[in-house]
């Protein structure tokens, strides 16, 4: 056996071990009562996250909110840990009990009219969300509430077992899963049905097409993919979030952002991208304790983006040629 084959076998064994461990942990947690999952276990997970990532949260909060005092940043960082510490337990309960777990926890307001306005255009809808509150359950609610088919765009997890586990959970909620690396025509076909397409573009994904735009007063590499999809399909973008309110959640939409072909393409894509990014920032400012401040949102530079994007495109080209039976 050559070195490469051995390396692949070892990697596959590690992936299987990790995936099996996660499945076993999920099975064990599924036997626990709700009070334990959302009580002591959620607190433990939140404290562990804060211990590991609390400093990064505080640093990014202080850089994003000039004038914020350190004790406030510390409090918000702890609340971030608490919010994200509840997510695993909530997903376990949703997996175990389905819609029965969610229906009494979901609240709506008159912002639903923004989604209705976008749906009335008949071009499909691109829902722009963020890693705030509980975004996974937001998609479950949408699949239950709207008659249109709902698909979510997600990044493929390198561990195949974990990738299947996450996608199975999403499909349990009535969702179609589209891989981020799939050709854009798959997303365009879904919108043309017409369907609803959920995207979370609030993180620094430096291998995708994007621009450096102001986010909390600092340049952040921002994906232009959602805007390009909106312009190509005619589908409006609607920023939508599931905000935590104690034991319940509020479904909240912002006004739709409609594309226009009256402007030059690049100019319109930038306008659309700035618009959804501003809506995301506004929501984070309103609920800073619920966003993933531990993510390094401002890490990329023009130089790192150029290097990584080149490697990413070369990798995609090799994979495409391999699928077609050619040689890289």
Domain residue spans in the chain?
106-328
Tell me whether residue 83 is exposed, middle or buried, using C-beta atoms within 10 angstroms of its C-beta: 0 to 12, 13 to 18, 19 or more. Answer: buried
Output the pLDDT for position 26. 83
- pTM beyond 0.85, yes or no: yes
Distance CA 190, CA 185 (A): 9
Collapsing DSSP to helix, strand or coil, 179 comes out as strand
End-to-end CA distance of the chain: 23
Dump the DSSP string for 39-93.
THHHHHHHHHHHHHHHHHHHHHHHHHSTT--HHHHHHHHHHHHHHHHHHHHHHHH
Give the contacts of 100 (CB within 8 A, at least 6 positions apart). none
* Alpha helices for the chain (secondary structure H): 3-30, 34-37, 40-64, 70-97, 99-103, 112-119, 135-145, 160-172, 184-192, 225-233, 265-286, 302-323
Q: What fold, for 106-328?
A: Glycerol-3-phosphate (1)-acyltransferase (3.40.1130)
* pLDDT, tens digit only, all 328 positions of the chain: 577 777 778 888 898 898 899 888 888 888 899 999 999 999 999 999 999 999 999 999 999 999 999 999 999 999 999 999 999 999 999 988 888 888 889 999 999 999 999 999 999 999 999 999 999 999 999 999 999 999 999 888 888 888 898 888 899 889 999 998 888 999 999 999 999 999 999 999 877 789 999 999 999 999 999 999 999 999 999 999 999 998 899 999 999 999 999 999 999 999 999 999 999 999 999 999 999 999 999 999 888 888 877 787 777 777 677 767 655 4
Which tokens in the block code for residue 78? Answer: 């702890």
Name the 3-class secondary structure at 151: strand
Mind listing the pLDDT tens digit for each residue in 150-193? 999 988 888 888 889 888 889 988 999 999 888 899 999 999 99
């Amino acid at each position: 056996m050559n070195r490469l084959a051995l390396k692949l076998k070892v990697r596959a064994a590690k992936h299987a071990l990790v995936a099996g461990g996660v499945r076993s942990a999920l099975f064990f947690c599924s036997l626990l009562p709700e009070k334990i999952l959302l009580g002591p276990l959620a607190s433990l997970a939140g404290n562990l996250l804060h211990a590991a990532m609390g400093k990064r949260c505080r640093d990014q909060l202080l850089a994003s909110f000039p004038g914020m005092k350190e004790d406030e940043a510390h409090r918000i960082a702890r609340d971030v840990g608490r919010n994200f510490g509840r997510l695993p337990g909530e997903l376990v309960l949703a997996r175990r009990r389905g819609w029965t777990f969610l229906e009494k926890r979901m609240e709506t307001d008159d912002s639903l009219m923004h989604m209705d306005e976008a749906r009335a255009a008949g071009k499909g809808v691109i829902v722009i969300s963020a890693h705030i509150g509980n975004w996974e359950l937001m998609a479950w609610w949408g699949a239950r509430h709207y008659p249109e088919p709902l698909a979510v765009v997600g990044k493929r997890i390198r561990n195949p077992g974990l990738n299947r586990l996450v996608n199975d959970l999403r499909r349990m909620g009535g969702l179609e899963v589209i891989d981020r690396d799939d050709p854009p025509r798959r997303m365009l076909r879904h919108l043309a049905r017409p369907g609803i397409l959920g995207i979370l573009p609030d993180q620094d994904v430096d291998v995708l097409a994007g621009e450096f735009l102001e986010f909390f007063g600092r340049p952040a590499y921002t994906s232009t993919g959602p805007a390009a999809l909106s312009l190509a399909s005619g589908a409006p973008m609607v920023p939508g979030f599931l905000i935590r309110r104690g034991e319940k959640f509020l479904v909240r939409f912002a006004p739709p952002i409609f594309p226009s072909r009256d402007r030059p393409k690049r100019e319109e894509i930038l306008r659309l991208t700035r618009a959804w990014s501003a809506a995301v920032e506004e929501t984070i400012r309103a609920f800073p304790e619920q966003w993933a401040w531990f993510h390094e949102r401002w890490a990329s530079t023009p130089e790192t983006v150029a290097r990584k994007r080149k490697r990413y495109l070369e990798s995609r080209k090799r994979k495409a040629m391999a699928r077609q039976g050619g040689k890289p």
